[in-house]
A and B are shown apart, each in its own frame.
Chain A
Amino acid sequence: KNQVEQSPQSLIILEGKNCTLQCNYTVSPFSNLRWYKQDTGRGPVSLTIMTFSENTKSNGRYTATLDADTKQSSLHITASQLSDSASYICVVSATDSWGKLQFGAGTQVVVTP
Chain B
Amino acid sequence: EAGVVQSPRYKIIEKKQPVAFWCNPISGHNTLYWYLQNLGQGPELLIRYENEEAVDDSQLPKDRFSAERLKGVDSTLKIQPAELGDSAVYLCASSLGSLKEAFFGQGTRLTVV
Residues of A that sit less than 8 Å from B by CB: 4, 31-32, 34, 36, 41-46, 49, 89, 91, 93, 95, 98-101, 103-106, 108
Main secondary structure of the interface of A (DSSP, over half): strand
Residues of A within 8 A of B91 (CB): 43-44
| Residue B4, interface by CB 8 Å | yes
Q: Contact between A100 and B48 (Cβ–Cβ < 8 Å)?
A: yes
For chain B, give the interface size range.
20 to 34
Residues of B within 8 A of A108 (CB): 40
Q: Shortest beta-carbon distance, B103 to chain A, in Å?
A: 7
Q: Contact between B101 and A46 (Cβ–Cβ < 8 Å)?
A: yes
| A/B pair count, beta carbons within 8 Å | 56
Within 8 A of A (CB), among B73-100: 91, 93, 95, 97-99
| Residue B107, interface by CB 8 Å | yes
Residues of B that sit less than 8 Å from A by CB: 4, 31, 33, 40-45, 48, 55-56, 91, 93, 95, 97-99, 101-107, 109
Residues of A within 8 A of B102 (CB): 46, 101
The residue in chain A whose Cβ has the minimal distance to the Cβ of B105 is A43
Q: Contact between B98 and A99 (Cβ–Cβ < 8 Å)?
A: yes
CA A103 to CA B31, docked complex, whole Å: 18
Q: Contact between B99 and A43 (Cβ–Cβ < 8 Å)?
A: no
Residues of B within 8 A of A104 (CB): 42
Residues of A within 8 A of B31 (CB): 99
Residues of A within 8 A of B55 (CB): 98
Q: Contact between B98 and A103 (Cβ–Cβ < 8 Å)?
A: no
Q: Shortest beta-carbon distance, B51 to chain A, in Å?
A: 13
The residue in chain A whose Cβ has the minimal distance to the Cβ of B56 is A100
